[in-house]
Amino acid sequence: MSTNINLLLRIDEASLKRKKRIKILNFIAFMLLIGVGVISLIIFLLIQITNVPSIKQEQDDIIRKISQSQDKRAKLFIVNSRINSVQEILGKRKDLSKTINTMLEKIPNRLSVEGLEIDDKVISLRAESASLFVIGEFIDNLTDMVRKKEIISSLTLDSLVFDEKKNSYQVSIRSEL
């Protein structure tokens, strides 16, 4: 009869499995602990590297230097603001003299201007001539301008009358700019 029968063999197998499981669990736990520590350390170092106070210190130094040139700064600001305003004025104001000059160029020699009224929207003109042909030429010129959209966008013939006393035709037109 054998006296060396190992009755604990099954128990040892289970125990080994348990030990192995504990070992893996221990390993995971320690790795996790180290991981948490390393991540924490890295974040801490990154925060320390990002040196905001030194940037702020530099900012304060520059602000101090800028404030020493406060007058120059104010003048520069005003100059820029004035430039913008002047640019805006020059950009928006209408040059009525240019409009009148262009209109006068279209007036035939034998037509005399009796009256002219212009604002930023409308130009009205009264003229007279002894010749209907000259008046017709004038109207043709203006019609061309409207067609080419040169300064005026519309043309209305307000009146065309014959003045017996002056022996001349008087024409009155109105155009939109």
> Which residue matches tokens 């304060």?
60
b/e string for 111-140 if b means 16 or more Cβ within 10 A? beeeeeebeeeebebbbbbeeeebbebbbe
149 phi and psi angles, rounded to 5 deg? 55, 45
Site residues for another protein per CB under 8 A: 18-19, 22, 25-26, 28-30, 32-33, 35-36, 39-40, 43-44, 46-47, 50-52, 55-56, 58-59, 62-63, 65-67, 69, 71-83, 85-87, 89-90, 93-97, 100-101, 104, 113-120
Coil, helix or strand at residue 19: helix
Q: Which is nearer to another protein, 5 or 90 (CB)?
A: 90
Q: Which is nearer to another protein, 47 or 157 (CB)?
A: 47
DSSP state at residue 111: -
Q: Which is nearer to another protein, 19 or 110 (CB)?
A: 19
Supply the minimum distance, in Å, between the C-beta of residue 153 and another protein.
19
Q: Which is nearer to another protein, 10 or 147 (CB)?
A: 10
Supply the minimum distance, in Å, between the C-beta of residue 83 and another protein.
4
Supply the minimum distance, in Å, between the C-beta of residue 94 and another protein.
7
Supply the minimum distance, in Å, between the C-beta of residue 81 and another protein.
7
Q: Determine the Cα–Cα distance for residues 170 and 146; give it in Å rounded to an integer.
A: 21
Instruction: Centre a 10 Å sphere on the Cβ of residue 110 and count the other Cβ atoms it contains.
Output: 13
Q: Which is nearer to another protein, 4 or 50 (CB)?
A: 50
Supply the minimum distance, in Å, between the C-beta of residue 160 and another protein.
19
Handedness of CA 141, 147, 152, 158 (dihedral sign): positive
